[in-house]
Amino acid sequence: MSGAALLFANLGAEEGGAWLRASRHPRVRSVARLWATLFPADARLAGPGAPVPARLAPPFAGGAEEAAFPFCAPGRALVPWLATPEAEALARTEGVPLAGPTPDVVARVHDKAFAQAQARALGLVPAELRDAELLLEPDDLRDADAVRCRIEAELARWPDDLAARFVLKPRSGTSGRGRIPGQAGCVDPERLSPAALERLRACGGALVEPWLERTLDLSAQLYVAGASEVRVLGTLRLEVTRSGGPAGNAGRLRADGSVDSGTPWDGELRAAALAVAGAAAGAGFRGACGIDAFVFRAGDGREVLRPVVELNARFTMGTVALGVLERAKRAGLARGGAEFYFGFSHDAGGELLTVLDGDPSARLHLSTRSLP
């Protein structure tokens, strides 16, 4: 399809209309601009909340007319960060097709319950966690007392160390927002307010999970081209804020040009990600996606990988990081053996490169040594 792409930067659209308010935040706007640089330079940001576009800084700008990845060159079509009915409506208004997956498919596989169901079916849930999860549908969240009693009855069956700290998290949410913590097998009744329950219902329900001692956050970034065409773009170490929001990505550029997290968990992470993304492909999903994972400390002190936490059926900060690294490779800035960090922490060490002209908020750090 000929013509320039239209980009709908609806970051955080999992939370309904709240994403538009968040789009005004300087960091969100920077991410939207960085995402746009994955596409050819003639791509246009469109729709509500569209930030003023930014140009790639030298020497990244040399190949700006080309997409960072082949799937970022859709031609005359609307590409949303997350496919939603709002994105579909904007495509109709602009008179162009919606690129990528349909909103109904995305709603199904983006639900955190989908990833967890696939993890259980594929035997990817660590033994320590197999009996420590509760799924709540929207209709289960009508009455606060009933919700609290159901959760506390379920947690009474969990091992004490897992029930000591736990969390209710929205089945469709982003950056750790909307979670309700609990401890000692109990939920604080004041946290189950009518407004909190309404937010969880609007997000498709909730999952109740243990709050674990995480030692490492990881992700696998993938592209699904067809029912049997799933490719890992790279695995990454994920830097998150205390609240669980994304702060940056780090990894290693191997001699063959592939990207991995540089940790002992890469093989297991890749295999699990391919299996779950394959299930999403079977459900009709097509496009870029990411699977979050983490390593936690079990009760006996061992480190254990939870290879599937959730499937983000959309572009992610990891996709953006890998796209920026791809542009760095083409510019001759990154070669095999380099460690890299991309994100909002400016003390990562190594050579620091500004990606956007006039916007130094998110930078690429390259080094020949391991980065934290």
Q: pLDDT tens, 214-230?
A: 999 999 999 999 998 99
Are residues 251 and 197 both part of a single domain?
Answer: no
In a domain, 337, yes or no: yes
In a domain, 107, yes or no: no
102 pLDDT exceeds 60?
Answer: yes
* Unique residue bearing structure tokens 């009855």: 153
φ, ψ dihedrals at 86, nearest 5°: -65, -40
Are residues 137 and 186 both part of a single domain?
Answer: yes
DSSP conformational letter for 185: T
Are residues 223 and 358 both part of a single domain?
Answer: yes
- Residues sharing a CB contact under 8 Å with residue 157, sequence separation 6 or more, in sequence order: 131
Are residues 206 and 220 both part of a single domain?
Answer: no
- Residues sharing a CB contact under 8 Å with residue 198, sequence separation 6 or more, in sequence order: none
Full residue range of the structural domain in which residue 97 is found: 6-101
Paired sense of beta strands 78-80 and 6-8, if any? parallel
In a domain, 372, yes or no: no
Are residues 220 and 297 both part of a single domain?
Answer: yes
- Could you give the C-alpha distances from 60 to 26, 53, 65, in angstroms and in order? 22, 16, 11
Are residues 202 and 326 both part of a single domain?
Answer: no
Predicted pLDDT at 1: 46
In a domain, 69, yes or no: yes
Q: Where residue 187 sits, what CATH number does that domain have?
A: 3.30.1490
Are residues 75 and 31 both part of a single domain?
Answer: yes
Are residues 69 and 134 both part of a single domain?
Answer: no
In a domain, 110, yes or no: no
| % the chain with pLDDT above 90 | 80
* Cβ contact 82:7 at 8 Å: no
| Average pLDDT of every residue of the chain | 93
Paired sense of beta strands 6-8 and 44-45, if any? parallel
Predicted pLDDT at 336: 84
* Cβ contact 179:168 at 8 Å: yes
Provide the 3-class DSSP secondary structure of residue 247. strand
Predicted pLDDT at 173: 82
120 pLDDT exceeds 90?
Answer: yes
Paired sense of beta strands 229-240 and 351-356, if any? unpaired
372 pLDDT exceeds 60?
Answer: no
Element (H, E) at 26: helix 26-36
In a domain, 352, yes or no: yes
Better-scored residue on pLDDT, 72 or 349: 72
* Cβ contact 251:326 at 8 Å: no
* Cβ contact 206:141 at 8 Å: yes
Provide the 3-class DSSP secondary structure of residue 157. coil
Domain boundary among 48, 83, 101: 101
- Could you give the C-alpha distances from 170 to 176, 178, 294, in angstroms and in order? 9, 6, 18
When computed from its CA atoms, the radius of gyration of the chain, rounded to whole angstroms, is: 20
Are residues 240 and 329 both part of a single domain?
Answer: yes
Q: How many other C-beta atoms are found inside a 10 Å radius of the C-beta of residue 345?
A: 16
Mean pLDDT of 321-349: 88
Paired sense of beta strands 339-343 and 359-367, if any? antiparallel
Largest CA distance in the chain: 60
Round to whole Å and give the CA distance between 279 and 107: 14
In a domain, 115, yes or no: no
Round to whole Å and give the CA distance between 70 and 79: 14
Round to whole Å and give the CA distance between 60 and 329: 9
Least confident residue range of 7-21, 231-245, 296-310: 231-245
Round to whole Å and give the CA distance between 59 and 55: 11
Residue 111 — very low, low, confident or very high, per pLDDT cuts 50/70/90?
Answer: very high
Element (H, E) at 307: strand 303-312
Q: What is the pLDDT of residues 194-216, one digit of tens each?
A: 999 999 999 999 999 999 999 99
Are residues 297 and 153 both part of a single domain?
Answer: no
Are residues 64 and 94 both part of a single domain?
Answer: yes
In a domain, 1, yes or no: no
Q: How many domains does the chain have?
A: 3
Provide the 3-class DSSP secondary structure of residue 181. strand
Are residues 316 and 338 both part of a single domain?
Answer: yes
Q: Where residue 250 sits, what CATH number does that domain have?
A: 3.30.470
127 pLDDT exceeds 70?
Answer: yes
Q: Could you give the residue ranges of the DSSP H alpha helices within the chain?
A: 18-22, 26-36, 85-94, 103-110, 112-121, 144-155, 160-163, 194-202, 266-282, 317-330
Predicted pLDDT at 177: 79
Helices and strands per DSSP (H, E), number in the chain: 10, 16
Domain boundary among 191, 210, 229: 210
Domain boundary among 210, 233, 263: 210
- Residues sharing a CB contact under 8 Å with residue 93, sequence separation 6 or more, in sequence order: none
Q: What is the pLDDT of residues 359-370, one digit of tens each?
A: 888 889 998 655
Round to whole Å and give the CA distance between 313 and 171: 13
- Could you give the C-alpha distances from 279 to 54, 173, 282, 312, 332, in angstroms and in order? 37, 21, 5, 13, 37
